[in-house]
Amino acid sequence: MKRLPPLPALHTFLITAQCCNFTRAAEQLFITQGAVSRQIAGLEAHLGYELFIRQARGLDLTAQGKEWLPRVQQVFDLIAEGVEQIGEPRETLQLKAPTCVMRWLLPRLLQWQKERPDVPVALTTTVKHGVDFHREPFDAAVVYGAAPDSALASSLLFDEQLTPVCSPQMALQSPADLQQHLLLHPTRDERDWNAWLQAANLQLSNARAQHFETLDLAMSTASQGMGVAIGDWSLIGDDLSAGRLVMPFELKVRTGLAYYLVCPEKATPSAPLRELMGWLVEQARSR
């Protein structure tokens, strides 16, 4: 491979090509006009052809010089970009999310960090389903409920669709079989099971029940064959795909609520935040 031209000479060529004058190039480079002339002559000798046409009124680029100029400009642009970006502290994105969405969100954030280690994310979990960007220092949040108000820029992740799930070892032939099993409630208010049973036109008398504080606890108990839980089909999709849980019945009930990815409407999201939010929305739509 032919020896590469020296970097200082290429920089001198770039500055000289931009002003087409040895004197002005020397002023910008803080060297003498003679030094500029010698560096250009040395570069031309190295390449084997002239880069400038020397005229009394100044300089013009030769055909070869015109071809060299955008290439050299690109090299120095890349160097300048590296100086700005490499070694700079990385912006850690602050994300808030309710615990109920962790079964879906956490595996995807771990995948994001593998693919984009240059954009770290700090995740804060909460039992609350909303966010107040005026009082909370988050860049974005996952919220659960009705459609967010206009003060938030929001993207729909998925609608809530409730369905019973259980261990693959449990034999359930029809919804009426639920009477024989322990119902695992992911919340204290039992609203999820009540909504599904109503949609299934089913009334259970004296059904046994166990209440949990989080969806994760209910799903973990169900996977061990200790009862039948109910959860959002979108949130437990990974468990279903892995065979840890199964859907004994086809009925999925839409509640009218949903999960949204939000950020302040008036704020201009940074490029890393826009990329993360777009990636999460794409993940939700491709499930």
Same domain, 147 and 202: no
Instruction: Strands of the chain (E only): list them.
Output: 52-55, 58-61, 93-98, 121-126, 140-145, 152-165, 183-185, 209-211, 228-232, 253-264
Query: Does residue 17 share a domain with residue 31?
Result: yes
Last residue of a domain, one of 40, 63, 85: 85
DSSP 8-state secondary structure symbol assigned to residue 269: -
192 and 141 housed in the same domain:
no
Residue 201 and residue 134 share a domain: no
Residues 155 and 227 placed together within one structural domain of the fold: no
| pTM score, whole prediction | 0.64
Question: Tens digits of per-residue pLDDT, 121-169?
Answer: 999 888 777 788 888 888 999 998 888 776 677 889 989 999 999 999 9
Instruction: Note whether residue 135 is domain-resident.
Output: yes
In this prediction, residues 213-234 reach a mean pLDDT of 88
Same domain (yes/no): 248, 267: no
Token pair 């938030």: residue: 152
279 with 172, same domain? no
Look-up of token digits 């919804």: 175
Domain span at 152:
93-159+258-285
Domain presence at residue 33: yes
pLDDT of residue 281: 92
In a shared domain, residues 173 and 35: no
Q: Annotate 180-233 with three-state secondary structure.
A: HCCEEECCCCCHHHHHHHHHCCCCCCCCCEEECCCHHHHHHHHHCCCCEEEEEC
Domain membership flag for residue 230: yes
Q: Total structural domains in the chain?
A: 3
* Contact yes or no for 143/259 (Cβ under 8 A): yes
Mean pLDDT across 89-117: 87
Q: Are residues 68 and 119 in the same domain?
A: no
What pLDDT digit, counting tens, does each position of 15-43 carry?
888 888 888 888 888 888 888 889 899 88
Q: What is the CATH number of the domain that holds 62?
A: 1.10.10.10
Sign of the CA dihedral with 125 first, then 128, 133, and 135 last = negative
Taking the C-alpha atoms of residue 208 and residue 275, their distance in angstroms, rounded to an integer, is: 46
CATH at 98: 3.40.190.10
1: in domain: no
- Residue pLDDT, tens place only, 162-220: 999 999 998 788 888 888 899 998 888 888 999 999 999 988 877 788 988 778 888 88
pLDDT 10s digits, 7-19: 888 898 988 888 8
Radius of gyration of the chain (CA): 32
Report the distance separating Cα 21 and Cα 24, nearest Å: 6
**Phi and psi (nearest 5°) for 86?**
-75, 130
DSSP character for 166? B
Domain-terminating residue out of 34, 55, 85: 85
The residue out of 38, 59, 85 marking a domain boundary is 85
Are 206 and 173 contained in the same domain? yes
In a domain, 2, yes or no: no
**Structure tokens that stand for 121 in this block:** 């994310």
CA 254 – CA 163 distance, rounded (Å): 9
Residues 129 and 97 placed together within one structural domain of the fold = yes
**Token pair listed for 9:** 């000479």
Are 204 and 190 in a shared domain?
yes
